[in-house]
Structure 1
Amino acid sequence: MASSPSRHYEIRTLILLGLAYGFAYYDRMMMTFLTPFIVPEFQLNNTQVGALGAALSLSWAIGAYILGRWSDSLGVRKPFLLASLVIFSACSVLSGLAIDFWTLFASRLLMGLVEGPFLPICLAIIAVVTPARRRGLNIGIVQNVFGAILGTAIAPILSVAIAEMWGWRFSFYTAALPGFILAFLIWRYVAEPHEPAQPMGAKGTSTGPGMLEMLRRRNIALCAVIGCLLVGSVVLGSIFLPLYLTRIRGFEPGHMATIMAILGLCPPIGGLLVPFLSDRVGRRLPLVVFGALMAVTPLAALYFQGSSGILTALMFLGWIGLGTFPLFMGVIPAETLSGKGTAAAMGLVVAIAELTGGVLAPLGAGRLADAYGLQSPLLMAVAMALIAGLVALFLEETNKAAQDAAQLETEAHAS
């Protein structure tokens, strides 16, 4: 492949990797929409429901950093991508074959391990084949447009419909086939990327900077903190909103699935809007504003007592903030730490975010929900989003060219 990939190849890679990540996220999110069916069959409590989400997040975090760094050390991306696709598709079948809580827990644990490095490696490839002027937008498309359309818009409707017709196990079985197909297409049509070499005298090993050195970079550390908070906020919302809407608000499962499917359109819209704005006004301001905006979704679920339509609209507005995820998980780490080590840097942010926001938060929230009610996890989600917006104020701008251009345009209009 040439050092400057063609626009045609860029689009083809974008579509294939976007679809692959979308179905990986579909597999991950199905569990949240199927809990109303699984809970009564296995007689699960809220702590166990939180543990199922935490199991996948824990192994996702481990896989994101360790396998991402292994990919950096070998200097290859494609073999890791293909292996991940095949194995997590097989794990989806295993989830459908579960006979009790522990077998389901084990299948989600294994699935998270192989899905974890998938996003960092996808984003590392996209960062190489995409010019800087479209990098934020393309990373947002892969992570939030494809991931959200398949994982949070289509998944609740399709998985619940299949569960109602044939049982929840068949929802997992049908999720496996797209992964096998996409593994073949990526093997056939996506080349191993050629990444830029590190500058002379750059610190770190041939795999890039080590974990501690990366965390000494202000932006990497702050992105990890923001990730803890925003991943925690959305994970708690994803796990406990379906239960809160059905048990406390009294919505039928089909009504709940419709609301969650509409909310599933937030990431693709936010994933276009927020990175697009960040390509033009800088990364920090959109992350501050839209990160804090995520508090509106759980607040509306808790306190708005009006019509279902307005409730859904308010919740929709809040989760537009999911468009910030490509910024703190991909764009800012990649621009802070260019060259070798980008997959590990992204994987490190994902790992820390998943371990805290994806593992500890749902476990703690599950216990609080058992003790004090299902409103507790949603109150936690509100606080996490607001604090994340505050932390983002301290980021160093990585898209200074866009920020300077926006400032010059503002000064020109003022004069």
Structure 2
Amino acid sequence: MAARSEWRILLALWLMVFSASSQVVIMAPILPRIGATLGIGELEQGSLITAYAVMLSVMALVAGPVSDRLGRRLILLVGSGAMTGALLLHGVAYSFAALLAVRALAGAAGGLLSGAAVSYVGDYFPYERRGWANGWVMSGVAFGQIVGIPAGTLLAGLADFRWPFLAFGLTMALATLLIWRYVPQPPGVRSELPLSLRNVLRRYYELLRRPTTSRSPLVYFLMFFSIGLFLIYLPTWLEHTQGFRTEEMALLFLIGGLANVVAGPLAGRLSDRIGRKPLIVGATLGLAVLMAGAPLLMQSDLTIYTLFALAMALVGMRMSPLQSLLTALVPGARRGSLMSLSIALGQLGIGISGVAAGWLYKEYGYLSNALLGALALVLMALVVGYGLPEPDLQASVGEG
């Protein structure tokens, strides 16, 4: 019975992660279509990414302490319900201003959800099983690339760019129902600190003052900053230089998603055995090398598909070990605050990369995006390798 309850929880969180991540990633392949439909250029397209990321960052800073005090279940329910509404509002976004507004609303809802799933796994599962659990939950991101992104890309090409968001709104509504039905509040992990602006600021100050926990947000910032630089204008570059069509773009994300969905759970389970840091550092450095060389090597369909699949596999290899590592750095009553702070800085990285990538792409070409992204990954590997401890795999520090 316990095993069945665990799988129901993982399914609900998986569907939430699938829906939330798909509605973000779909922006990259359909960004040129959005630009053509609304008559906006590269800089305005990048601002759609930035608006979402900035609102997510702000709301995540609020949601973390609230989830520590009131519980993860409440935040998961409110966040998934709010995301459902925001995604359905995309159906009436017929101007750049309207789309910018609904992307900001979706970002606010995403801020509520940002660290909730990872924190919940940290609360519910012991440390020696968190790599496995996080691997399955985060495979929702990869499944989005396999099914959600290709289907959404084709749907945007056949109908309208708004339709993928409406479809993900329906899957998020189902996730909300599953969370309400099957995801309980884990006992014994709530903070006793009263909710107030002063207490929230003090909690974040304490996290930033400690060397170990202050490095976690930096790791997330560098990770998402690099991915934004690499991914946001990759479809645009492939269209302009390789003549990629909608169907080929959908196939690209399908292949990348397959690589990610295989690598993620395997890496999570392996990290439960050998430790988190070797996989995180190795995958990050490997991705840096690939990212730097991709614009020079992606000269045929075979190399494009192969290198993108390898890149997505490396992304999957580091994600669940990294999340499992970070959830062990603080006790459960502070876990939501740390994860929300980290993800807020990560989304700030995405927001900055959206603006920077658009300017770099326009002024210097896609190679400049990839090289700066690779440099950020090297810095991330150094911070993880020398700045974060590797907890004992037999220790379960989630309660306290």
TM-score (norm 1): 0.87
Which residue, 21, 37, 43 being the options, matches 1:41? Answer: 37
Q: State yes or no: 1:219 paired with 2:217.
A: no
Specify the SS of the correspondent of 1:167.
coil
**Inter-partner Cα distance in structure 2 for 1:105 and 1:349:** 24
Specify the SS of the correspondent of 1:400.
coil
Change over 3 Å in CA distance of 1:280–1:39 after alignment to 2 = same
**Residues 299-344 of structure 1: CA distance to partner in whole angstroms, max 9, x if unpaired?**
343011554223322232233221323343x322221102201111
**Residues 18-55 of structure 1: CA distance to partner in whole angstroms, max 9, x if unpaired?**
11111111122222221121111112222112111111
Which residue, 7, 10, 15 being the options, matches 1:14? Answer: 10
State the partner residue of 1:101.
96
Which residue, 225, 232, 242 being the options, matches 2:225? Answer: 232
State the partner residue of 2:143.
149
**Inter-partner Cα distance in structure 2 for 1:352 and 1:393:** 20
Note if contact 1:283-1:397 (Cα within 8 Å) is conserved in structure 2.
Answer: no
State the partner residue of 2:354.
362
Which residues in structure 2 correspond to 1:13-412 (within 5 Å)?
A: 13-74=9-70, 76-143=71-138, 145-150=139-144, 152-196=145-189, 210-323=203-316, 324-328=318-322, 330-355=323-348, 357-401=349-393
Note if contact 1:270-1:320 (Cα within 8 Å) is conserved in structure 2.
Answer: yes
User: Taking every aligned residue pair, what percent have the same amino acid on both sides?
Assistant: 25
**Inter-partner Cα distance in structure 2 for 1:246 and 1:178:** 30
Residue 255 of structure 2 aligns to which amino acid in structure 1? I
Residue 373 of structure 2 aligns to which amino acid in structure 1? A
**Residues 129-152 of structure 1: CA distance to partner in whole angstroms, max 9, x if unpaired?**
213221122112212x012212x2
Change over 3 Å in CA distance of 1:383–1:96 after alignment to 2 = farther
Note if contact 1:219-1:395 (Cα within 8 Å) is conserved in structure 2.
Answer: yes
Specify the SS of the correspondent of 1:176.
helix
**Residues 331-380 of structure 1: CA distance to partner in whole angstroms, max 9, x if unpaired?**
2222110220111111111111211x211122122112222223322222
Q: What is the Cα deviation at residue 247 of structure 1? A: 1.1
Unaligned runs of 5+ in 1: 200-204, 404-415
State the partner residue of 1:406.
none
Q: What is the total number of aligned residue pairs between the two structures? A: 389
Q: What is the Cα deviation at residue 82 of structure 1? A: 1.3
**Inter-partner Cα distance in structure 1 for 2:52 and 2:309:** 26
Residue 179 of structure 1 aligns to which amino acid in structure 2? M
Residue 131 of structure 2 aligns to which amino acid in structure 1? G
**Inter-partner Cα distance in structure 1 for 2:141 and 2:268:** 15
Note if contact 1:279-1:399 (Cα within 8 Å) is conserved in structure 2.
Answer: no
**Inter-partner Cα distance in structure 1 for 2:65 and 2:37:** 40
Note if contact 2:135-2:320 (Cα within 8 Å) is conserved in structure 1.
Answer: yes
Residue 184 of structure 1 aligns to which amino acid in structure 2? L
Specify the SS of the correspondent of 2:233.
helix
Note if contact 1:140-1:275 (Cα within 8 Å) is conserved in structure 2.
Answer: yes
**Inter-partner Cα distance in structure 1 for 2:372 and 2:58:** 24
Unaligned runs of 5+ in 2: 193-197, 396-400
**Inter-partner Cα distance in structure 1 for 2:305 and 2:367:** 18
**Inter-partner Cα distance in structure 2 for 1:211 and 1:369:** 35
